[in-house]
């Protein structure tokens, strides 16, 4: 059932463009039905899962390497699955309105549904290899989504940046997961969860930890890898909303939560998570304030939220993990709503600049309500679920082992900055009266597919804040239990009485308001800090990418000279040196002293070939060189006939003929035949050629001697008719025993054909002066119409 | 201007050469021959036609773009591998059935034969793609 849930998304993604073409006006609603039904399915699992049941499903994939498509549903996966499908429903429905009439909307749904299915697979995967596959699939589908407006250069480079950063992290993760599997003796996560003692004492523990964290930190945009996330704002609003609320960046958080029972207890794990998370949450909130673009501002608050989640996982007490789960849910709800609201603002006004936008509450009343509710949740104000999350965070920080005051101060600073950022985002754009515009367009009607997306998660945030019992007994406790690996009792409420947490909350609000007022009065000072966002790691990335390109260019120039004789020389010389060195090192040059009885006509053929080779070398015209080469080829074919290999001989004859035809076809295009190499290089070429010939002769003689040892040809000879129903051993090897090789070869042959065709036919018209060069694509179109 | 001897000879040779190529293809499993050799012979036949009548005529005779022949061949080769998968065996495992012809005789048909047909088509397609493109020039 779980595997069906994952596969259904991929299956629908395949047919999305066709369905969209069939009913373009309704497609958003149609596609939203799939995540909706998946949401209902996972919702119905809540009671079973919170009762302590864990569901495991497995489909064998490559048992030799322990890889399987196995799925595992427990409290933690369930929370993520509900967020992915729930927000997925709203966001896909919203996409229909937001990108209404976009020419590539069908393709957009493919990416979006694929994205959802990959993320669902990731959080449900039990096998570490399949987890890695889904992990990479989310990177890949987000690449397509961020670069959806691919005609813009900035969108393309942002997509590439996201792919490279998360892709490199993904490779590190693969290595880490394989080590984890080796150490724990299983590739299945639910089996690894019980092996923490063995894993922690394993010699590979520290490298494994570093590699897994590298994967998680790049994906979840922790400092110093946070820069790709704000760049990813190049994608359309629904993409940003999904990427930030439930998918992609949450994958890293999921991973650290999932593996928390395995790694918890090691100081390295707790310290690095708390440190990176703490720095990230403060950096994110600070950089958020200085932004003017709504989406960029929100992106940095996501960096803050992700830092907070990693930070809490690092603290690692049951209370902190419980706070992480509640904050995860709160964050997903308010972030989804805010991004979709920003999308509506952009869609209706054409601007996302918080300095310019004014009086949105008149034009978009419903969106204003949604944005304010979500914003209050983000700022951690009662009675929203964000407030409960923040209280829990303070409670866990205060009771944390180690430097509790420092952690509390960090959390307080981050939350106060976040509150100020919320003020920047909402207060002036929505509530300050506009001076220039008239109020004539007040009460602008926004269609349902645009307002439903922002309103529902905001309302859910309010409902869960007012009725925290909906969460505490079932979902949160089973998720926290899964992360803490022991039973966690959860009681959530809005009002705890006068507690240290409440005092901290009040201090946060006061501090945050002070920061906001300072921001308003000193905007020019704020602007001076904006360079921070573009400096730092983003710059390193750019420099690194340029250096990589320069290196690639240099080594391509070095290896790919474009001169055929260089290539041939390199290939032959490498072969000769490598083979000769190996043969000498292993003392393989044992040439058996058998007396070879050479018949007269064989000698005749060989002498003919040697003469032809000499003629080819000394030839003064290209045609005579080709003919001489042909003589050598036919000589080889005659030898094949003599030694009873008719298949080879036939092929050789035809290939020789084809080669001559090819030469004849191109010969008049080639420049005049002349000797361009000097005496020295000719001598060198001669030495290389002779060495290659001598080596091949030795190899053949050696191979003649060891032939007795090989049982392969015997196997083929005896089994050809028995197993493969064929008497021609050569052919049976080609089409049956070694069928995979042949498949590879014919694929290469096809590619070579396409390559030659492309080189000859799809060139822009060269040499026509004064005429604009036609592009290769238009040429192709012309070609297809001509045919 | 077309060389009379070549065109006349080609007219008579072509059917025989194509028949030979098919013959080589199908006898390949038990006697010297096979898809690769057969494909080369067939491609050579069309090249002969090209020399005698020109590229336009050869393309007309082929009716389809040689790239299509290549793609079809690859698809057939790949497809005959999938047959093995469907029966739960590894990719490209040979599958055989015997068609009864009456009088106790039967015709063995197997996926290696269809695979060889795929090879045959790829060889024809790729060779003709290259050679016809070269013959056409700019």
User: pLDDT tens, A27-65?
Assistant: 888 999 999 999 999 998 888 888 778 888 888 777 777
Task: Pick A391 or A472 by higher pLDDT.
Answer: A391
Helix (H, G, I), strand (E, B) or coil at A23: coil
Identify the CA nearest to A311 among candidates A237, A412, A236, A239: A412
Q: Are residues A603 and A508 in the same domain?
A: no
Task: Pick A589 or A45 by higher pLDDT.
Answer: A45
Angle between helices A477-484 and A75-98 (to 10 degrees): 120
* pLDDT tens track for A444-457: 577 888 888 899 99
What is the structure's pLDDT at A783? Answer: 42
Identify the CA nearest to A241 among candidates A77, A130, A97, A369: A97
* A722 at interface of B, judged by CB pairs closer than 8 A: no
**Cβ within 8 Å, pair B129-A657:** no
Reported confidence tier of residue A781, pLDDT bands at 50, 70, 90: very low
**Cβ within 8 Å, pair B108-A651:** no
Average per-residue pLDDT in chain A? 85
**Cβ within 8 Å, pair B129-A662:** no
Reported confidence tier of residue B66, pLDDT bands at 50, 70, 90: very high
Mean pLDDT of A84-100: 92
Chain A interface mutation, best of B72, B98, B109, B133, highest count of A Cβ atoms under 10 Å: B133
* pLDDT tens track for A360-385: 888 888 889 999 999 999 998 888 89
- Is the Cβ–Cβ distance between A29 and A96 less than 8 Å? yes
Residue with tokens 């060189």: A625
Residue A179 lies in a domain: yes
pLDDT over 90 at A159, yes or no: yes
Mean pLDDT of B68-94: 85
Cross-strand partners of A71? A57, A125
Cα separations in angstroms, A404 against A282, A323, A505, A512, A647: 17, 16, 17, 21, 81
Reported confidence tier of residue A535, pLDDT bands at 50, 70, 90: low
**Cβ within 8 Å, pair B31-A727:** yes
* A648 at interface of B, judged by CB pairs closer than 8 A: no
What is the structure's pLDDT at A440? Answer: 47
* Count of the separate structural domains present in chain A: 2
Which residue of B lies nearest to A735 if distances are taken between CA atoms?
B112
Reported confidence tier of residue A538, pLDDT bands at 50, 70, 90: confident
Taking contacts as CB-CB distances below 8 angstroms, the residues of chain A near B108 are: 725
Inter-chain CB pairs, A–B, below 8 Å: 139
pLDDT over 50 at A766, yes or no: no
Reported confidence tier of residue A764, pLDDT bands at 50, 70, 90: low
Identify the CA nearest to B33 among candidates A698, A511, A646: A646
Q: Are residues A469 and A611 in the same domain?
A: no
Identify the CA nearest to A338 among candidates A383, A308, A368, A307: A368
Mean pLDDT of A762-784: 46
**Cβ within 8 Å, pair A725-B110:** yes
Least confident of A145-154, A248-257, A292-301, B24-33: B24-33
pLDDT over 80 at B94, yes or no: no
- Is the Cβ–Cβ distance between B84 and B37 less than 8 Å? no
What is the structure's pLDDT at A714? Answer: 75
Residue A553 lies in a domain: no
Distance CA A74, CA A48 (A): 10
Chain B interface mutation, best of A666, A753, A755, highest count of B Cβ atoms under 10 Å: A753
pLDDT over 90 at A110, yes or no: yes
What is the structure's pLDDT at A774? Answer: 40
Q: How many residues belong to chain B?
A: 138
**Cβ within 8 Å, pair B131-A661:** yes
Q: Are residues A683 and A601 in the same domain?
A: yes
Distance CA A299, CA A710 (A): 64
Average per-residue pLDDT in chain B? 86
Q: What does the buried/exposed string (b/e) look like for B24-55 if buried means 16 or more CB atoms within 10 Å of the residue's CB? A: bbbebbbebbbbbbbbbbbbbbbbbbbbbbeb
By CB atoms closer than 10 A (0-12, 13-18, 19+), residue B102 is exposed
Helix (H, G, I), strand (E, B) or coil at A70: strand
Mean pLDDT of A160-180: 93
Mean pLDDT of A504-516: 89
Task: Pick A358 or A91 by higher pLDDT.
Answer: A91
From chain A residues 651-710, the ones with a CB under 8 A of any chain B CB are: 651, 654-655, 657-658, 661-662, 665-666, 669
Q: Are residues A452 and A581 in the same domain?
A: no
pLDDT over 60 at A533, yes or no: no
Distance CA A734, CA A744 (A): 11
pLDDT over 90 at A534, yes or no: no
Token duo for residue A322: 């419980």
Helix (H, G, I), strand (E, B) or coil at A25: coil
Token duo for residue A578: 């490598």
Percent of chain A with pLDDT over 70: 92
User: How many other C-beta atoms are found inside a 10 Å radius of the C-beta of residue A270?
Assistant: 20
Least confident of A33-37, A108-112, A272-276, A287-291: A287-291
Distance CA B128, CA A665 (A): 13
Cα separations in angstroms, A490 against A44, A566, B81: 21, 72, 56
Taking contacts as CB-CB distances below 8 angstroms, the residues of chain A near B70 are: 750, 753-754
Residue A557 lies in a domain: no
* pLDDT tens track for A128-149: 999 999 999 999 999 999 999 9
Residue with tokens 């190899």: A699
**Cβ within 8 Å, pair A665-B74:** no
Of B73, B129, B134, Cβ closest to residue A665: B134
What is the structure's pLDDT at A772? Answer: 40
Which residue of B lies nearest to A764 if distances are taken between CA atoms?
B138
pLDDT over 70 at A561, yes or no: yes
Residue A551 lies in a domain: no
Domain boundaries of chain B, sorted by first residue:
4-136
Cα separations in angstroms, A339 against A200, A242, A295, A478: 41, 9, 7, 29
Task: Pick A119 or A732 by higher pLDDT.
Answer: A119
Residue A504 lies in a domain: yes
Taking contacts as CB-CB distances below 8 angstroms, the residues of chain B near A662 are: 130-131, 134
**Cβ within 8 Å, pair A735-B127:** no
Q: What is the DSSP string of A402-437?
A: SSHHHHHHHHHHHHHHHHHHHHHHHIIIIISPPSSS
* A60 at interface of B, judged by CB pairs closer than 8 A: no
Task: Pick A706 or A161 by higher pLDDT.
Answer: A161
Q: Are residues A755 and A613 in the same domain?
A: yes
What is the structure's pLDDT at A443? Answer: 52
Task: Pick A435 or A10 by higher pLDDT.
Answer: A10
Mean pLDDT of A18-28: 86
What is the structure's pLDDT at B4? Answer: 87
Residue A592 lies in a domain: yes
What is the structure's pLDDT at A82? Answer: 93
**Model ipTM?**
0.91
What is the structure's pLDDT at A232? Answer: 87
What is the structure's pLDDT at A769? Answer: 39
What is the structure's pLDDT at A550? Answer: 94
Q: Are residues A326 and A453 in the same domain?
A: yes
Mean pLDDT of A676-697: 88
Show contacts of A503-508: CB within 8 Å, 24+ apart.
Answer: A504/A394, A504/A398, A504/A408, A504/A412, A505/A380, A505/A387, A505/A390, A505/A391, A505/A394, A507/A412, A508/A380, A508/A390, A508/A412, A508/A415, A508/A416, A508/A419
**Cβ within 8 Å, pair B119-A740:** no
Residue A370 lies in a domain: yes
Distance CA A88, CA B40 (A): 55
Mean pLDDT of A601-623: 89
pLDDT over 80 at A472, yes or no: no
What is the structure's pLDDT at A745? Answer: 92
Chain A interface mutation, best of B17, B21, B24, B30, highest count of A Cβ atoms under 10 Å: B30
Which residue of A lies nearest to B71 if distances are taken between CA atoms?
A750
pLDDT over 50 at A777, yes or no: no
User: How many other C-beta atoms are found inside a 10 Å radius of the C-beta of residue B136?
Assistant: 16
- Is the Cβ–Cβ distance between A34 and A8 less than 8 Å? yes
- Is the Cβ–Cβ distance between A725 and B98 less than 8 Å? no
What is the structure's pLDDT at A710? Answer: 62
What is the structure's pLDDT at A624? Answer: 86
What is the structure's pLDDT at A594? Answer: 66
User: How many other C-beta atoms are found inside a 10 Å radius of the C-beta of residue A12?
Assistant: 21
Distance CA A753, CA B126 (A): 5
- Is the Cβ–Cβ distance between A274 and A214 less than 8 Å? no
- Is the Cβ–Cβ distance between A471 and A492 less than 8 Å? yes
Identify the CA nearest to A212 among candidates A235, A249, A190, A179: A179
What is the structure's pLDDT at A549? Answer: 92
Distance CA A612, CA A625 (A): 9
Q: What does the buried/exposed string (b/e) look like for A364-403 if buried means 16 or more CB atoms within 10 Å of the residue's CB? A: bebbbbbbbbbbbbbbbbbbbbbbbbbbbbbbbbbebeee
Distance CA A119, CA A107 (A): 18
What is the structure's pLDDT at A207? Answer: 92
Phi, psi for A60 (deg, rounded to 5): -65, 140
Boundary-marking domain end, from A542, A571, A593: A542
Beta strands, E only, B6-103: 96-102
* Residue B33 region by backbone torsions, left for phi larger than 0, else alpha for psi between -120 and 50, else beta: left
- Is the Cβ–Cβ distance between A59 and A188 less than 8 Å? no
DSSP state of A492: -
Taking contacts as CB-CB distances below 8 angstroms, the residues of chain B near A735 are: 29, 34-35, 112-113, 115-116, 119
Token duo for residue B90: 């590894």
Domain limits for position A760:
563-786
**Cβ within 8 Å, pair B30-A651:** no
Angle between helices A385-398 and A294-315 (to 10 degrees): 40
Cα separations in angstroms, A709 against A187, A527, A580, A698, A714: 40, 79, 22, 18, 10
Boundary-marking domain end, from A542, A572, A602: A542
Q: Are residues A489 and A567 in the same domain?
A: no
Of A662, A746, A757, Cβ closest to residue B67: A757
Boundary-marking domain end, from A511, A542, A573: A542
- Is the Cβ–Cβ distance between A67 and A130 less than 8 Å? yes
**Cβ within 8 Å, pair B34-A734:** yes
Percent of chain A with pLDDT over 90: 35
* H helix runs in A668-724, sequence order: 679-706, 712-724
- Is the Cβ–Cβ distance between A73 and A45 less than 8 Å? yes
Of B44, B110, B133, Cβ closest to residue A654: B44
Least confident of A90-94, A597-601, A687-691: A597-601
Distance CA A586, CA A580 (A): 10
pLDDT over 80 at B45, yes or no: yes
Identify the CA nearest to A17 among candidates A99, A110, A90: A110
Helix (H, G, I), strand (E, B) or coil at B105: strand
């Amino acid at each position: 059932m779980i595997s069906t849930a994952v596969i259904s998304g991929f299956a629908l993604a395949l047919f999305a463009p066709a369905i969209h073409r069939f009913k373009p006006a309704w497609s958003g609603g149609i596609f939203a039905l799939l995540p909706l039904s998946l949401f209902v399915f996972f919702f119905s699992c809540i009671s079973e899962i919170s009762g302590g049941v864990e569901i495991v499903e497995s489909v064998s994939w490559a048992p030799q390497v322990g890889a399987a498509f196995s799925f595992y549903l427990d409290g933690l996966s369930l929370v993520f699955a509900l967020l992915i499908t729930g927000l997925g429903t709203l966001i896909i429905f919203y996409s229909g309105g937001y990108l209404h009439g976009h020419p590539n909307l069908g393709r957009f749904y493919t990416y979006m549904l694929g994205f959802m299915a990959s993320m669902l697979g990731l959080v449900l995967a039990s096998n570490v290899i399949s987890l890695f596959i889904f992990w990479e699939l989310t990177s890949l589908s987000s690449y397509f989504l961020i670069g959806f407006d691919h005609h813009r250069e900035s969108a393309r480079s942002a997509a590439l940046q996201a792919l490279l950063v998360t892709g490199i992290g993904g490779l590190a993760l693969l290595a880490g997961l394989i080590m984890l599997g080796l150490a724990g003796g299983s590739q299945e996560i639910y089996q690894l969860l019980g092996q923490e003692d063995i894993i922690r004492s394993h010699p590979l523990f520290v490298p494994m930890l570093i590699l897994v964290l590298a994967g998680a930190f790049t994906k979840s945009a922790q400092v110093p890898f946070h820069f790709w996330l704000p760049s990813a704002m190049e994608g359309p609003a629904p993409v940003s909303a999904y990427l930030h609320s439930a998918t992609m960046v949450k994958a890293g958080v999921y991973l650290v939560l999932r593996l928390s029972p395995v790694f918890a207890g090691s100081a390295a794990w707790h310290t690095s998570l708390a440190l990176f998370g703490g720095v990230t949450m403060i950096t994110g909130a600070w950089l958020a304030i200085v932004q003017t673009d709504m989406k960029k501002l929100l992106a940095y608050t996501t960096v803050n939220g992700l830092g907070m989640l990693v930070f809490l996982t690092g603290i690692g007490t049951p209370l902190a993990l419980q706070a992480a789960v509640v904050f995860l849910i709160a964050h997903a709800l308010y972030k989804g709503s805010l991004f979709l609201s920003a999308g509506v603002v952009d869609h209706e006004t054409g601007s996302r600049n918080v300095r310019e936008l004014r009086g949105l509450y008149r034009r978009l009343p419903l969106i204003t309500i949604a944005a304010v509710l979500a914003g209050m949740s983000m700022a951690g104000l009662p009675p929203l679920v964000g407030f409960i999350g923040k209280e829990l965070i303070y409670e866990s920080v205060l009771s944390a082992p180690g430097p509790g005051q420092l952690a509390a101060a960090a959390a307080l600073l981050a939350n106060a900055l976040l509150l100020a950022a919320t003020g920047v985002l909402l207060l002036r754009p929505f509530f300050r009266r506009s001076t220039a515009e008239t109020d004539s367009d007040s009460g602008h009607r926004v269609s349902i597919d645009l307002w439903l997306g922002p309103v529902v998660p905001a309302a859910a945030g309010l409902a869960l804040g007012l009725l925290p019992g909906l969460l505490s007994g079932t979902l949160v406790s089973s998720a926290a239990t899964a992360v803490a690996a022991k039973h966690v009792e959860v009681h959530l409420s809005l009002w705890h009485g006068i507690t240290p947490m409440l005092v901290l909350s009040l201090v946060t609000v006061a501090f945050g308001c002070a920061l906001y007022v300072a921001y308003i009065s000193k905007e020019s000072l704020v602007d001076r800090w904006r360079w921070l966002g573009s400096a730092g790691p983003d710059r390193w990335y750019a420099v690194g990418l340029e250096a990589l390109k320069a290196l690639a260019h240099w080594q391509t120039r070095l290896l790919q000279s474009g001169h055929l004789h260089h290539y041939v020389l390199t290939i032959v010389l490498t072969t000769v040196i490598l083979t000769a060195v190996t043969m000498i090192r292993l003392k393989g040059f044992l040439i058996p002293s058998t007396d070879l009885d050479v018949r007269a006509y064989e000698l005749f053929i060989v002498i003919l070939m040697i003469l032809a080779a000499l003629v080819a070398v000394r030839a003064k015209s290209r045609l005579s060189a080709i003919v001489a080469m042909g003589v050598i080829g036919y000589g080889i074919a005659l030898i094949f006939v003599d030694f009873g290999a008719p298949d080879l001989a036939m092929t050789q004859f035809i290939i020789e003929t084809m080669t001559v035809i090819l030469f004849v076809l191109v010969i008049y295009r080639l420049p005049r035949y002349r000797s361009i190499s000097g005496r020295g290089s000719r001598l060198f070429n001669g030495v290389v050629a002779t060495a290659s010939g001598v080596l091949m002769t030795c190899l053949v003689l050696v191979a003649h001697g060891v032939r007795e040892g090989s049982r392969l040809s015997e196997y083929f000879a005896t089994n050809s008719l028995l197993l493969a129903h064929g008497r021609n051993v050569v052919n049976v090897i080609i089409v049956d025993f070694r069928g995979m090789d042949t498949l590879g070869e014919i694929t290469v042959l096809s590619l070579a054909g396409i390559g030659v065709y492309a080189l000859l036919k799809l060139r822009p018209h060269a040499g026509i002066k004064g005429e604009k060069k036609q592009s290769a694509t238009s040429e192709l179109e012309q070609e297809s119409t001509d045919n | 201007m077309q060389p009379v001897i070549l065109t006349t000879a080609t007219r008579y040779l072509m059917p025989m050469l194509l028949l030979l190529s098919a013959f080589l293809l199908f006898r390949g499993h038990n006697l010297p021959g096979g898809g690769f050799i057969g494909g080369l012979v067939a491609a050579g036949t069309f090249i002969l036609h090209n020399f005698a009548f020109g590229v336009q005529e050869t393309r007309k005779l082929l009716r389809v773009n040689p790239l299509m022949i290549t793609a079809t061949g690859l698809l057939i080769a790949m497809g005959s591998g999938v047959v093995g998968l469907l029966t739960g065996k590894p990719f490209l495992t040979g599958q055989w059935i015997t068609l009864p012809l009456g009088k106790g005789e039967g015709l063995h048909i197997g996926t290696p034969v269809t695979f060889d047909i795929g090879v045959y088509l790829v060889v024809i397609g790729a060779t003709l793609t290259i050679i016809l493109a070269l013959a056409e020039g700019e």
